[in-house]
Amino acid sequence: MTHETASSLQPPKVIFSPIGWMREHLFSSVWNSILTLITLYILWLLVPPVIEWAFLKASWVGTSRDDCTPGGACWVFIAQRWSQFMYGFYPEALRWRVDLAGILAVLWGGPLLFQRFPWKKLFGFSFLIGYPLIAWWLLYGGDLFGMTTVPTDQWGGLMLTLVIAAVGIAGAMPLGILFALGRRSELPVIKAVSIAFIEFWRGVPLISVLFMSSVMLPLFLPEGMNFDKLVRALIAVVLFQAAYIAEVVRGGLQAIPKGQYEAAQALGLNYWQMMGLIILPQALKLVIPGIVNTFIALFKDTSLVIIIGLSDFFMIIHRATVDPAWLGFATEGYVFAAAVYWIFCFGMSRYSIALEKRLNTDHRR
Amino acid sequence: MKQKTLLAAVGAALTVAAVAPAQAGETMDAIKARGEIRCGVSDGLPGFSYTDEKGVVRGIDADFCRALAAAVFGDANKVKFTPLTAKERFTALQSGEIDVLSRNTTWTMSRDTGMGMVFPAAVVYYDGQGFLVNKKLGVKSAKELDGATVCIQAGTTTELNLADYFRANKMKYTPITYDKSDESAKGLEAGRCDVLTSDQSQLYAQRIKMANPDQYVVLPEVISKEPLGPVVRPGDHEWFSTVRWTHYAMLIAEELGVTAKNVDEMKQSSNPEVRRLLGVDADFGKAIGLPRDWAYQVIKQVGNYGESFERNVGKGSPLKIERGLNALWTQGGLQYAPPIR
Amino acid sequence: MKPSRSAFLSWIYDPKIRGIIAQVVTLVVLGLLVGWLAHNAVTNLAARGIASGFDFLNDPAGFGILQTLIPYTESDTYARVFVIGLLNTLLVSALGIVAATILGFIMGVARLSKNALVSALATVYIETFRNIPPLLQIFFWYFAVLQAMPSPRQSLGWFDAVFLNIRGLYLPRPIPTEAVTAFVVAVVLAFALWWVIARWAKRRQDETGQPFPVFWTGLGLVVLLPYLASLVFGSPFTWELPQLRGFNFVGGWVMIPELVALWVALSIYTSAFIAEIVRAGILAVPHGQTEAAMALGLTPQQRLRLVILPQAMRVIIPPLTSQYLNLTKNSSLAAAIGYPDLVGLFAGTVLNQTGQAIETIAMAMAVYLTISIMISLFMNWYNKRMALVER
């Protein structure tokens, strides 16, 4: 028996070597090696033809279909129709208004996405109240202060998609929160009404709702009373989305410990004070990722307005693919549309994940 | 941001679609109060109504709406076009979403009587259902189509005629029903179906949308009567008559040789028929609330029936459809207008 | 006067009274709103001479339908058309749910794989397909599939029994013979035996700790018994082969490209979400559970099957059912490519032929609502059954 302290061993050497990494991550067992080989084979089958089609053999510059070489993608089609895809049939001379509204949104609302931005309150409140008015004035005009009216049936393209998505989420948030509170209310009638509302909108497909709002709504209104078609679609989208938001918010409300409610009541706060000051701030923070996910779903759902003939981004592209002058480039159109939707949705989902990490003030673990 | 929705709603309700007094059947009053005609058209059918690259709606159906605007307001541009699929069109008209449906709609008894709409007996285009096939198929007659797969557009009389025709001839078929005419053309082109069936005029329109139009041929059989014309809601006689007589005025103008170009000189004409048409001698528009020069404005801004026809579907268009049944009655066709007097 | 005034004040500030007032006001406002809408609808319908009521359901439809799961001719009624549309919706939803679940589980597990390439590929798959609108995917698959397929006269064929062309995938159709009864009995018997063996094996394992290969035995039974039955009593089915006649193949089972495109698109789209649900579910099982199972000497397979999955399922099932509901609702996009589902066929063609928008749309919506409520009920039942029984 020895009484000497054994000399401590060196920590195992961590040397990064490509072969070592591959051994560990790709070929650690027979099964794993087979999987790796199969995956490589699939990649070999898929990737080279796609790259060849999309880049190597693709045509980028030109003005008509004759400038496109067969065998590769014809991005000329996208380039030629670019402005239509972005603005729809918005009058060309007035497109600066759309651009301005977009730039304002980025400069005014964009900073709110950053945690460390100092004037968040100032920007936040002014944005929430001021921006919708200004955006409406810029996009629609309404002959106020010398702005020519651009009727909504001339709106289109990516711009319309963004308008629908933005109004959808902005309208659905407050409504959704109300219905979430209603569903957890102790008043039986309020609760029943909320449940019925939520379950109804979650249960029916959006396209049937859009169909109703686009052609059937006037049947339910007095003769002569009518709204703009876009507004009706927006109302449908808001109601539909509010039901989903309500369920997300309800999840957050359920996660707040009962002690918080009791503490608020002990302080003598009434219902709305309790909810507005204590419960909702905590609950909403919990469900931000869920809300972003709902928004992503909404953004994708905007493509369904194709059913009611609004010229949103996807509709404009779909229509361009059947234009005799550009027949046979449907794949390019769809790929472009897919890429744009993908960039928006993927970007938002990354942001949501980052937010989730940052807001993680969970003490339960 | 909630305000945005509200504001947009309020703004749009006030400015775009002015709220009219709630009085049943007063379509004409609503139109005049609003200052524009809301016209339902097709979602993309060259020659009849389609949106061109600049977003302008063109075609014979679209021009008819312009003629209505010219008659009512003296300005052919006071029209708001709403593109509708075949499925949406009737609901849109019934519900009041549009004032007139000018979307190559077949006049049938059930539509005219039980569905909350009326046809003002103004047949803009006499048509019949036919078949469009790929030449490669080697089919010369519709009777050889037993077992074929057929592309159709949803919600049309075509669907019913097709079923009747195949049943009457003891043949079998598989229908593929698309929402939009674009897709049925695409279906034929891809070879998903052997034959595309529709009104013959539409077949010509579909054919020019193909990458290779010469590859397709319209079969000789016409299996139905398809009188296509505008539709309105019942209950407003003024509006009903405006739609009907606008069409007739365009026909009479062609009969009398009054065109968009010579209409100003024709005002000096000594022909009493011409003078009545153009409102020189008498005011026939007054009874239905139209200005005295309504027909003059229609012809001046849109042209007579023949001009509209040739420009949109006839010789001046890529469709190159013959007048055929749509020639004036004086030239062996069916287009016949009662006299203005 | 003063006491009564304060009584009135306390009365108005009483939360209970306020609650009642709020509820009454809500009810009245809602009632008025609904009444107003209904009144408008009725007046408008009457003023415009639009027929109402459900009598139209007994009228003959008079048009053809692409895919009918039950016999149908043009002289059948609109009511039957409704059933056909409903069945078509259910068919594509059921197919989609099965495929999306399998694909989703594979991709979810693959994303957690230690194999870097596999998990990277799974990540790309998930992130690509869940961020593209389903409608776009349906269009893409439909027209991509269509353009790549050969015409009927150049179809791809295997053994003169299976054919693939632009009109669909043609498979032989089994036609039952007299021996089918014996065959069915054998199948039922095999499953019954499987169940009995499973119970016996469980009891034995509880008592003695001896495991028994239940799955393989059962599978053997299910294959063997029906095979024996068909040896003894003769083949249970004759096969009707598809044959090219005229323009198209006749006979056999056909899977139309509209169905295939819709199925593929919905399955892939939904599977991306299911994969994320599965991943989250597996990650939610604490690592200690795996370690404990290892310490008990369970094999990797047993670990997954007996320890990890049952716990993960508790987390997976609720969001999974809502994905199933989404898939069913998304199947209504079928109308865009001509698949005759409930919305396309009934709320589309029938609506147009009859002009009765309110009735047809209401019926279609009622169906989706019913499905949705049934799925909710199932979920509640499942949650109750699976909820952790805490002491």
- Note whether A328 and A187 are same-domain residues: yes
The predicted pLDDT at position A102 comes to 83
Angle subtended at Cα A269 by Cα A264 and Cα A273, rounded to the nearest 5 degrees = 95
Segments of chain C scoring below 50 in pLDDT = 1-2, 391
Q: Is A212 on the interface with B (CB under 8 A)?
A: no
The predicted pLDDT at position B19 comes to 34
- Note whether B119 and B6 are same-domain residues: yes
- Note whether B214 and B85 are same-domain residues: no
- Note whether C236 and C298 are same-domain residues: no
Tell me which residue range forms the domain holding C355.
Answer: 78-145+262-386
Whether the pLDDT of residue B330 is over 50: the answer is yes
Residues 340-379 of C with CB under 8 A from A: 343, 347, 357-358, 361, 364-365, 368-369, 371-373, 376
- Note whether B322 and B287 are same-domain residues: yes
**What residues pair up with A270 in beta bridges, in sequence order?**
none
Could C48 and B94 be called an inter-chain contact, meaning their C-beta atoms sit closer than 8 Å?
A: yes
Residue C338 counted as domain residue: yes
Residue A122 counted as domain residue: no
Could A303 and C127 be called an inter-chain contact, meaning their C-beta atoms sit closer than 8 Å?
A: no
Could C135 and A303 be called an inter-chain contact, meaning their C-beta atoms sit closer than 8 Å?
A: yes
Residues of A in contact with B96 (CB under 8 A): 218-219, 223-224, 226
Share of chain B above pLDDT 70, in %: 92
In angstroms, the separation between the Cα of residue C153 and the nearest Cα of chain B is: 11
As a whole number of Å, the end-to-end CA separation of chain A is: 45
Q: How many CB atoms lie within 10 A of CB C297?
A: 7
In angstroms, the separation between the Cα of residue B108 and the nearest Cα of chain C is: 11
- Per 3-state DSSP, chain A is made up of helix, strand and coil in percentages (nearest 5) of 75, 0, 25
CATH value at residue B292: 3.40.190.10
Could B154 and C45 be called an inter-chain contact, meaning their C-beta atoms sit closer than 8 Å?
A: no
Name which of B95, B160, B234 is nearest C49 (Cβ-Cβ). B234
Q: What is the mean pLDDT of residues B282-301?
A: 90
The predicted pLDDT at position C204 comes to 86
Q: How many CB atoms lie within 10 A of CB C244?
A: 15
Residues of B in contact with A217 (CB under 8 A): 95
Could C48 and B194 be called an inter-chain contact, meaning their C-beta atoms sit closer than 8 Å?
A: no
Q: In angstroms, rounded to a whole number, what is the distance separating the alpha carbons of residues C338 and C251?
A: 22
Residues 210-249 of C with CB under 8 A from A: none
Tell me which residue range forms the domain holding A28.
Answer: 18-54
- Per 3-state DSSP, chain B is made up of helix, strand and coil in percentages (nearest 5) of 40, 20, 40
Residues of C in contact with A36 (CB under 8 A): 115, 117-118
Chain B residue nearest residue A140, CA to CA: B8
Residue B337 counted as domain residue: no
In chain C, DSSP assigns E strands to 156-158, 162-165, 168-171, 173-176, 237-240, 243-245, 248-250, 253-255
Q: How many CB atoms lie within 10 A of CB A126?
A: 12
How many structural domains is chain B composed of?
A: 2
The predicted pLDDT at position B5 comes to 43
The predicted pLDDT at position C327 comes to 92
- Note whether C332 and C185 are same-domain residues: no
The predicted pLDDT at position A225 comes to 67
pTM comes to: 0.83
- Nearest residue to C338 (alpha-carbon basis) of B340, A116, A329, B150: B150
Question: Using an 8 Å Cβ cutoff, are B158 and B199 in contact?
Answer: yes
> Tens digits of per-residue pLDDT, A115-134?
677 777 777 777 777 788 77
Residue A239 counted as domain residue: yes
In angstroms, the separation between the Cα of residue B254 and the nearest Cα of chain A is: 32
In angstroms, the separation between the Cα of residue C340 and the nearest Cα of chain B is: 8
Which chains have 3+ CB pairs within 8 A of B?
A, C
Name which of B148, B186, B192 is nearest C257 (Cβ-Cβ). B192
Could A187 and C135 be called an inter-chain contact, meaning their C-beta atoms sit closer than 8 Å?
A: no
Q: In angstroms, rounded to a whole number, what is the distance separating the alpha carbons of residues C332 and A207?
A: 8
Residue B22 counted as domain residue: yes
Residue A208 counted as domain residue: yes
The predicted pLDDT at position B64 comes to 94
With cut-offs at 50, 70 and 90, classify the pLDDT of residue B7: very low
How many structural domains is chain C composed of?
A: 3
- Note whether C228 and C282 are same-domain residues: no
Q: Is C109 on the interface with A (CB under 8 A)?
A: no
Per-residue pLDDT 10s for chain A (365 aa) are: 667 777 777 777 666 777 777 777 777 777 778 888 888 888 888 888 888 888 888 778 877 777 777 777 888 888 888 888 888 878 777 778 888 888 888 877 777 777 677 777 777 777 777 788 777 777 777 667 777 777 777 788 898 999 999 899 889 999 999 999 998 888 888 888 898 888 888 888 888 888 888 777 777 877 666 677 788 888 889 999 999 999 888 888 888 888 888 888 888 888 888 888 888 888 888 788 788 888 888 899 888 888 777 888 888 888 787 776 777 777 888 889 999 999 999 998 888 888 777 776 554 43
Name which of B7, B95, B182 is nearest A215 (Cβ-Cβ). B95
- Mean pLDDT, rounded, of chain B: 84
Judge if ipTM > 0.85: no
Question: Using an 8 Å Cβ cutoff, are B274 and B253 in contact?
Answer: no
Tell me which residue range forms the domain holding B234.
Answer: 2-126+228-331
Whether the pLDDT of residue B20 is over 60: the answer is no
What is residue B79's three-state secondary structure?
A: strand
